[in-house]
Chains A and B, each alone.
Chain A
């Protein structure tokens, strides 16, 4: 296994520079044995309208979620999915997608629940690739299925359940939704459908840092100094903190999880994928309305 890392100078400032590749690096490395490029978008048809040559698609909704229970694939189904996409355990995977890598960061987080070692994001994702005029095709990618081992999903290290969040109250929480969702003006993103939370507001003491602030023009990540100004100076988070990030269903907070963990080197960040659609409908949990974080309730 020898897909090299991108030694781009901007990435070198990040805590884990090997987690990102630039569009130029990817174009130069397309077709490298041991590398599989995966597109993951909000819109299930977008890949079919054009994609990076040789890439395969993974859809967050129809492929990474279980069809009945609200949960991610189990180890067996994840093995089937990745094997069918031509990905084996030692494959280098580069994920890219629309909307500043929103959904591709989500897919990367799911890959990490299964401990896939080498999975990276394409900085700037799909939009930046197109903006730079790089190759794009509608050709179907021929895939040779391979074996992927059955790995038990780790739901403790990177993932927080609601009881974990209740136990976490008093430690840093970051709410990455829009300001309107945070304050309780609405339960869903502006311009997005209502997704069934019965109360609007935020988890007590959570600070508000809308996820998209981590991305600059064309969806590329802001440099380290800019990210530190947002998450450390402004939001008051510290790299040694135990942090839980959440949004509405856990997708936008995967993006923030990626930024805190790999770009800023936080050691202990978990994503609460139940997020507001769960917390905002739970019986008996505290919430706060308005623009102030509020304080965490005393532990019971």
Chain B
């Protein structure tokens, strides 16, 4: 598994066009929701900071965080953000998630590629994930 620093380095090492391609690949690899959430959208929390509908739910089992995120295919940027956070934070210990860098979204070199406005959605997702983890830990 990659850590946040390495991923940020990977993004920043490549031209902007390739950063978008990498983000697109992330968006395509966002895991589908398991049936228990897919059938119960009411259990999920809406991330209001995102331009497109994105919903998330956090489970904490024996000190380990399990993340469930969903966003529509018409919103690949948002899906990409969700997928990056999933790859960084899923199946990690609570303490590690709570200590995760709040400023991580701004370190991916995506500001020029997708604009600061769109990046705000990722910050909103991260904040809500950490809040749910804190509530459930």
Are B76 and A46 within 8 A (Cβ)?
yes
Q: How far is the CB of A60 from chain B (nearest CB, A)?
A: 9
User: Which chain A residues lie closer than 8 Å to B20 at the CB level?
Assistant: 44-45, 48
B74 to A46, Cβ gap below 8 A? Answer: yes
A227–B135 CA distance with the chains assembled, in angstroms: 50
Give the secondary structure class of A's interface: loop
User: Given A61-B117, A62-B115, A191-B53, A45–B48 Cβ distance below 8 Å?
Assistant: no
Interface residues of A in 111-156 (CB under 8 A from B): none
Contact with B along A24-57 (1 / 0, CB 8 A): 0000000000000000001111101100000000
Interface size on B, residues (CB 8 A): 28
B115–A43 touching, CB < 8 Å: no
Q: How far is the CB of A65 from chain B (nearest CB, A)?
A: 8
Contact B76 A193 (CB under 8 A): no
Q: A193-B120, A193-B121 are in contact. Are A43 and B53 (CB under 8 A)?
A: no
CB nearest to B47 among chain A residues: A193
Contact status A193-B74, CB under 8 Å: no
Q: Mark B42-84, 1 if CB is under 8 A from A, else 0.
A: 0000101111110000000000000000000111111010000
> Which has the most chain B C-beta neighbours within 10 Å: A44, A46, A48, A98?
A44
What chain B residues lie within 8 Å of A194 (beta carbons)?
Answer: 49
* Residues 57-77 (chain A) with a chain B CB within 8 angstroms: 61-62, 67
User: Which residues from B are CB-within-8-Å of A61?
Assistant: 114-115, 117-118
Q: Report the Cα distance A7→B52, complex, angstroms.
A: 36
Residue of chain B at shortest CB distance from A191: B53
Within 8 Å CB of B50, what residues of A? Answer: 193
Residues of B within 8 A of A (CB): 20-21, 23-24, 27, 46, 48-53, 73-78, 80, 112-115, 117-118, 120-121, 124
Top 5 closest A-B pairs, CB basis? A45-B76, A61-B115, A45-B77, A193-B49, A43-B77
